[in-house]
Amino acid sequence: MMANDQSQPLASGNLRFRQGTAALSWIGRNLALVCFAVFALFPILWMVTCTLKSDAEMYTTVFNFTPTLSNYRAVLIGTDYFKAFLQNIVVAGGAVLLTIAVGVPAAYGLARYNFKKKEDIAFTILSFKFAPEILVILPVFLIFQKIGLYDTYFGLIWVYQLITMPLLIWVLRGYFEDISVEIEQAAQLDGYRWYEVFWKILLPLIKPGLVASGLLAFIFAWNSFTFPLILSGFKIQTITITSLRYIASDSVHYGHVAVAATVAITPEIIAALFIQKHLVRGLSFGAVKG
């Protein structure tokens, strides 16, 4: 009891001191976060302001200019930018759908079954992501020309699998490994068929990982530059390629480039904002986090 009384003032003194430091560290932390946010978002801000400037004002570094929508008019109405935008959606969306259709079963197989060279195969798939695209582009170009895939939707979707599939397989493999096989067995014994087990039990459990890695796959495909540059011609134009068009050899319309880029990143930003919760959780947590 005595000791209790003695320790009380000591403890409360400690407490006041601790509250002080806590407030300080809160301010410090938030200041740092604000700095980082400015640092991270500034390029986007800069780009958006560029879209509103006329060519003459393009090189001023002050935020003092006469806003104009002429760049937007020129790009969105004057050129076939929208066609490229739609084509990009088809190509990137198709790539993601194919990745999911093939990658989910592949991830399941790599997680559940034991077969020879399993780890080698898994690593090979991942290694597609390591190699620079430029490394394989020439042989692929030649092959595509030979077999008639050059400048087709399917050709691009197919080759995009190199950049969209590995991550999805690796993320989902981890998810499947976290789901104990007994959960599937329990569902089978409950009277469900294998496809019902997949829809009712497995799919909800891998959803965070599927959403996150699917979104990343979409972004990878959307941003891809090297592949469409070489493997598509006039029929199919993705926006990354289209944006380049405003840089001609004699004149550079930075305003037009900025508009093209701004429109191009809009779907990505919207998607990322929507799913950012899933994105963080999906890539960091396992499926059955107890």
Three-state SS at 252: strand
Question: Judged by CB under 8 A, which of 30, 127, 145, 185 binds other proteins?
Answer: 185
Of 96-125, binders to other proteins (CB under 8 A) are 114
**Residue 27 sits in the site that holds other proteins (CB under 8 A):** no
Shortest spacing between CB 50 and other proteins, in angstroms: 43
Query: What are the b/e assignments for 170-197, b being 16+ CB within 10 Å?
Result: bbbbbbbbbbeeeebeebeeeebeeeeb
Closer by beta carbon to other proteins, 134 or else 189: 189
**Residue 180 sits in the site that holds other proteins (CB under 8 A):** yes
Closer by beta carbon to other proteins, 97 or else 205: 205
Shortest spacing between CB 279 and other proteins, in angstroms: 19
**Residue 43 sits in the site that holds other proteins (CB under 8 A):** no
Closer by beta carbon to other proteins, 186 or else 273: 186
Q: How many helices (H) and strands (E) does the chain have?
A: 12, 0
Q: Which amino acid is at 177?
A: E
SS3 labels along 145-183: HHHCCCCCHHHHHHHHHHHHHHHHHHHHHHHHHHCCHHH
- Closest by Cα among 209, 204, 199 to 174: 209
Closer by beta carbon to other proteins, 182 or else 250: 182
Question: Judged by CB under 8 A, which of 104, 159, 162, 187 binds other proteins?
Answer: 187
Q: How far apart are CA 226 and CA 229, in angstroms?
A: 5
Of 197-236, binders to other proteins (CB under 8 A) are 201, 204-205
Q: How far apart are CA 180 and CA 287, in angstroms?
A: 10
Site string for other proteins, 5-24 (x = CB under 8 A): -xx--xx--x---x---x--
Which parts of this chain interact with other proteins (CB under 8 A)?
2-4, 6-7, 10-11, 14, 18, 22, 114, 180, 182-183, 185-193, 196, 201, 204-205, 287-290
